[in-house]
Structure formats: structure tokens, C-alpha cells
Chains A and B, each alone.
Chain A
């Protein structure tokens, strides 16, 4: 593509007074941008019209030196065929810098150099950018949806998909649809005024599925193999059927916590009267609750307990309330006790709690110790600490004791090791976690033909990894979404909501794959990584490190990219030691050249230079906000936005230090257990790689203090100037980079 470049500088928001524009035009000229126009308010209709007129006249690469790229995005959008590069002069050169000659006509020298450097970098970036061409699948893209699991979430996902007009394949391992919903007697109140137990409504749901021409149901089938990528998955079922689909919703439910593990604490198995809430539901469904005179429920049986499930399953309280109400409905005279640590009633379940109380259920608050269950004269007795009476009490003449056990992830191979490992020392915990991961991988629902394994990657409790708040149904496998209890314990009504959300996300993903654009978080991004294969050394780093398992391998360990699985984070680009991976508008060469374009003053000028590679998802907005809030920092700082810290290639650090830059900082998201990285593993990988940078620094005979990684979250605006000030002090102590002037 022939590039016809032009630069537009804005004099608004105080830039006109603070900067010497003649000098900036000169700088741009030296950087190869000869056509420079200035305007008093570039974002005004008049200013935009000025650019638009040039674009209409053939300009297709626009450099805008004005405000941050995070604002005025609609104004400065000239269509997908025009490259727009924005130098953030307002936030990163003006607002954050303290000019030495404040109030004078002439611009501050440091500030002027800062603005000039940003324009130089932007000019390089513009020169190295190309208009991305969306990836096209070889075969006609498929938009059909596969839903695995025919329970309440699966059925609702299938119905939502069909309603949105796509073909749906619903796969269920049992002979009939229904899942656990089919085993439930009644639902806890789900609609106002939350007082009446409700029917499961399963028959109606199944009838809807059967009547829907867009849903094809495969009962008695499991998924043998899922190959391919979004827009082009090929699925083979255990029954031998094969079909293509564009996206997948996994709604395979949960497993009950094994009550056998509670034999010591709660005497499970010692008496047929001691049952779990799952057994209780079956009894209720069979109508066997009539003869019960006294029943006790023990909450948190094996939940919120470091020796069993450390987490709260969120539903057991409501389930016990429901079952207590069922006992009361069958026999209003029955004495029903709920022995709890905390009654947890999310959503509107507090009303259910009230209704159970109104019906006369007695609630007894216990301490951390489990109640003691004993048998006397054919009946059961419980001895427990009653916190509200501050005394040990005994409840006897019980017909039944129900253990409210929790929900486990739906993988029979999950061992409790990672759950127990929380409190252990790190090394032992890591070992256990690795062992249990290997065990988990020996069993899979989808049997993905991915280089990184057949399963969806999981988090600490072996539930699929997703951002709990921001992207609830996302998994680390693009185009595959989880709904319902497969991703966390939840109630039926929540699973229905989940199912609809996941189905719509899946449809979106299939369409994005068809159009060759990214799904979240870089929604609509048309660029994708391209591999210059002739230089590949088959080191496997890209295939191993991709957080989304996008890259498969052939038998010779050559990477086989699947662009529709890709989220465009650039982690592969950061990983590649041969630097053969690049995007049309983002590459190792581009950022490297930007770094080299920074003008480094001579040592005797005593003006150090520090570059900060900042994650554009969280760190960059924090920097912008800090500047807008009036925070000031050293004018020797140069920010370079990166897609993710994971895309930072070590060669950039070497480039920077060898061209005389005194220090390099990386601003990224929090990593580890409660990570905030949009690309999940990006900031973690950056940390690992940086810990190995000392080799490079040793080769250059440089101090390791010159490179630092900092975690900045979106809201840590006030920390930005503090971190910078501290780093500048360190740089001053270490002294100037000896490579200056080479």
C-alpha cells in the first residue's frame, strides 16, 4: 500500500501556549512527515473537517498530535482504511510536565524535547504500520452453536441460540434431557413474593426444545473430539455423528461433594438416617417426606472447611431452606432444625429464609466445630454448640439428619489436593497442583484437539478460568463459553441467566470469527499475528505460552496458528526469540524502531532518559488519569503503549539500553491468583521473562536496577507519580548509561 502521510497538530487545551510548534514541524520533517498542519481545536467540527478533506484528497496515514488516544476516538476515526496514529501530547507531554519557565512565552526546554520525542516515535510507528486485512477461514465460516450438557443451563442456552436464529446442536450424555433439574422435586421460590416453592418447569422446557426446528438434540452422546477453531470447529460425538459448529457453550453442570469424606466428622454412612441434601431431594421427589417428625439440617457440611471444600457453594443454604419448607409442608407439626455457621442467602433468598422461619423452622447457630451425631433408641441425636445461647445443646428424637454438602467442579478426576494446598508451603502446594492438573487432564468433556491439552484451563478450585466480574462466561479458549454450575456454584435462576449470556457471547464469537475480527477484549481488531516461518527454530515458546491455546503444532514442532482462536494480545510476539511473529500494525521492529528514535542527550547534559512500556488496558488509562488529575512527574520519561506486557520482547530492553536510555520500566496488571491481566497470563509471563533479563544486562555490563516491572491497576492513579519518582532516584544513584553517544 502506498502511504500518503500527513500530520495534524492541535493547539488547543493549552498546547499552543506551551509548545514551540515551528520546532515540532522541523522535528516531523526530519522524521519524514513533510505535510504538517496546525489547528486551534482539532477535535472541533472545523478541525475534523480539515483532516477529512485531506483524507478525501488521498491521505491515508494520519498522525494526530493532540490528546490521548483514549479520548475523542469517534472524532478521529476516518474509516478502517486510514491509519490513525495519535501522539498524546496533552496528557503525556503537557499535563504531566513541570516546565522550567512556567508563565513565560518561550516553551520549557524539557517539555519541548518530550513533545518532539513523542512525535518522532509516532512518525516511526506510522511509517511501520499497515492497514490490517482480516483473516479469512479457508472453509465457509460456520455459525452454528454446539451446547454440551442438557440440564437447565444447556437447555436455556440452546433455546436462546435458536431464538437468535442460529442452528443449535444440543449434546447430552444421559438418555433424556434435564440434568440435575430432572432430579429436583421443587425449586426454592424464584419469583416475588418468594414464598411459594415452585415447579421445576422442566417438561415445558423440554417440549420447547423438541418443538424448535433449529435445535438438534443428541441424547446419549458425549463429545469424543473437538477439533478446529471458532468459526470452524469439527465435532465428533461418541455415537459417531459429526458436525461443524462456530462456537461452543459448555454447560455440563457439577458434581456433589463426596459425603463419604465426612464419615469421621459427621458419621456419614453409620446410619441410614444421615443423608445428604442430594439424597433428600430424591426422597422429596419420591414423596417420602410425609412421616418425618423431626429433621435437622447441618449446613457447611464439608464446605468452608480447609480439610474439604474451602469455598462456599452459595446454594446449600437456600437448598436447605427449601427442603425444610418441604418437610414442613408434608407435616406442619414436624420439628425442623437448621444448624448453620452463617445463613447465606444471595439475591432474594432472604425472603425464602423468612418464609422458612414463618413456617416454624428453628435455626441454631453453631461454631466452627461440627455437631456430634449419635444414635439412641433408633433415633438420632445431635450435640452442638449453640452460639446464641452460648451453651452446648442437644437435639434428640431426630428421624433424619441432612448434611448440606457443597458443589464440586464437574470433573471426576479432580482431587482435593489444590483445595487443601492453600494453607501449605508454596513448594508442596505447587507440586500438588501440578499433580492434580495432570489428573484433571486425563478426563475431558470437549476433548479439545489443542496443543495445550483437551480441557478448558482452570483456576484454583478447578473451575474454568474466567474473569468473574468483567467477562463471566469467557474461558481461556476463544469461542468456548461456560454457563451454569460448570463455572461456579449457582442457583437455577442464575444458571438460566448464565445460559442466555453465554449463548449470545458464543454467537458473537462465531460471527467475529467469520468476519476475521477479534472478540473481547480487543473487540473488532482485524490484525492477527503472522509468522515468518522460514526463520522459525521450532523452539515451541509461542505454542506453549499462548494464554488461549491458539497455536497448535505439527509433528516437527512447527507452530500452526489458528487466528480465529487468537485474542491479539501479542504474547507470542513477546515470546519469540527469533522475532518472526508480527501484526500488520504492531511488531517487534516497530516498537524497537520507536525506542531507537528517541533522542538521547549527551551525558554531560545531565538529562537522563527513561522509557516506560505501559499496558494499554489498565496502566495507560491510569497514566492518563494521573496526568489529568494534575500529578506531575519527570519530563525525562517516555511512555510507549503496548498491547499487553506479555507482548514485550526482551530485544526492546536491549535496544533501549544499548541506545543510551538510562532505565526501562514495565507497567502492567496484577498477576497471580487474583490476576487482572486482560490476557490472563501476559503480565505473569512478562515478570518471568524480566527475572531472566539479568543475562542480557550482564552481557551489556549494566546494572539490573535499570529495569523494573511494576503492577499498576486501573484505579491506582496516585501511585503513578510515586513509582516514577522513586525509579528516577534509583536511576540517579546508578548513574548515566555508559552506552550514551555510541
Chain B
């Protein structure tokens, strides 16, 4: 069996640089976070094992784990953790930290983040037609159209219930900008400058 050495440097790095990273120290490996996660079947490690890997100094496995970008912030784990570990904060913190290092552990999340950010940055709102269209088209024109066709039924239902505006394609017609877009942009720029990493 492969022998892995416990390495001190990575855990110290996480404790110091990652949002709520020090909480990882407190984990007692009970596994409530992992079993309570609605995405447990999708996760390769789950929070519990990630903490264990951090403490063991497994930098590559942690930084490349898609799990840290798979978290949907449902808060089940954070609410249930008997040790009060802010699981979600650490998961997002790790994602930010990975991106900062130039690692993209899960491309889909990163692309969706870009579409989301772009929509807000350009128009000041999250356009529910625009964002999914741009996200699906990122897979390339042919894959994008197939992906969109798969979603057709949902789209139709949303349209008929007036939950979504009709668009022929991304930016057709262009979304309306909010009032005071200038001020918002200023705020967003500042936030971007403050944040250690950026999604997309």
C-alpha cells in the first residue's frame, strides 16, 4: 500500500490563508457533514475526508478536489456539525484559495460563475434567461444547442408561467440595465479588488 507522509506545511497554510481554515483543527471526524450532504453521491471525498487530507498535508488531492466547488451552500452540514465547524465557509474558502493558485478544481462551476458574474457586471442583474444561455453556450456552439434542447421543457414551462423572458439567444434582445449602474460597478470593482480569488 502506498505510504504517505504526514506533512505539516499544507495544514498550516490552510489554517492561515483559507477563510475559517482554523475550524479544520476542530473536526473530530464524526462524518455528520459527509452523510448529511445532499450531494454526497456526487462528492469524491466529502468535507470530513477533506479535513483529514488537509491535516495529513495532501495538497494536490485537496486543491484538485471537485468537491470544494460542488458545495451548493445548503448549510445542512454547518448546522449539524457538533464541533461548530463552518463547513461551507471552509469549502468556499478552499475554492477561492485554489483559484488564487491558478487551480480550477471543477470547470463547470467556474464557467457558471463567470456567466453569473458577467451578467451582474454588465447589467446589474442576474438575468434568468441570459445566464443559463451563456453558461450552456460555453460548451461550444453545437454542444450548447444540444444542451439547451435538453432543457426545452423546463424553459417552456417557465415561459408559460411568466417566470422567464423569451430570448432568441444570448443578448437577443439585450437585458435592461439597472438604474445607477455606474455606482454598482464601482462597488463590484472594489469587491473584486478585496477578494483573494475570483470565480471565473
Contacts and interface: CB of A to CB of B under 8 A. Distances in A.
Contact of B56 (A343, A357, A383, A393): A393
A365 B29 contact: yes
A134 interface: no
Contact of A392 (B1, B8, B27, B48): B1
B195 to A, nearest CB: 27
A396 B5 contact: yes
Contacts of A286: none
B55 interface: yes
Contacts of A352: none
B52 A394 contact: no
Interface in B43-73: 48-49, 52-53, 55-56
A365 B28 CA distance: 10
B25 A383 contact: no
Contacts of A394: 3-6
A284 B8 CA distance: 24
A391 B29 contact: no
A392 B2 CA distance: 7
B26 A357 contact: yes
A450 interface: no
A391 B1 contact: yes
A386 B3 CA distance: 11
A389 B53 contact: yes
A332 to B, nearest CB: 11
A392 B55 contact: no
Contact of A388 (B4, B5, B15, B49): B49
Nearest to A365: B29
A383 B4 CA distance: 9
Interface in A377-392: 383, 386, 388-389, 391-392
Given A386-B56, A388-B48, A358 B26 contact: yes
A363 B28 contact: yes
A388 B49 CA distance: 7
B83 interface: yes
Contacts of B25: 357-358, 360
B52 A389 contact: yes
A337 B26 contact: no
Contacts, number: 55
A362 interface: yes
A335 interface: yes
Contact residue range for chain A? Answer: 20 to 34
- The secondary structure that dominates the A interface is strand
Contacts of A283: none
Contacts of B2: 391-392
A364 B1 CA distance: 18
A362 B8 CA distance: 10
A163 interface: no
B96 interface: no
Nearest to A359: B25
B19 to A, nearest CB: 18
A393 B26 contact: no
Contact of A393 (B6, B11, B83): B6
B3 A362 contact: no
Given A354-B26, A354-B83, A357-B25, A362 B55 contact: yes
Nearest to B53: A389
B177 to A, nearest CB: 49
Interface string A392-414: 11111000000000000000000
B107 to A, nearest CB: 27
Contacts of B4: 389, 391-394
Nearest to A354: B26
Contacts of A354: 26, 83
Interface in A326-347: 335, 337, 343
B28 A357 contact: yes
B8 A335 contact: yes
Contacts of A353: 28
A294 B55 CA distance: 15
Given A358-B25, A362-B11, A393 B3 contact: yes
26 contacts: A335-B6, A353-B28, A354-B26, A357-B27, A358-B25, A358-B26, A360-B25, A362-B11, A362-B55, A386-B52, A386-B56, A388-B29, A388-B49, A388-B52, A389-B4, A391-B1, A391-B2, A392-B3, A393-B3, A393-B5, A393-B6, A393-B56, A394-B4, A394-B6, A395-B5, A396-B5
Interface of A: 294, 335, 337, 343, 353-354, 357-358, 360, 362-365, 383, 386, 388-389, 391-396
5 tightest CB-CB pairs across the interface, nearest first? A388-B52, A395-B6, A335-B8, A388-B29, A392-B1
Given A389-B52, A395-B6, 20 more contacts: A294-B8, A335-B6, A335-B8, A343-B28, A354-B26, A357-B27, A357-B28, A360-B15, A360-B25, A362-B55, A386-B52, A386-B56, A388-B49, A389-B53, A393-B3, A393-B5, A393-B6, A393-B56, A394-B4, A396-B5
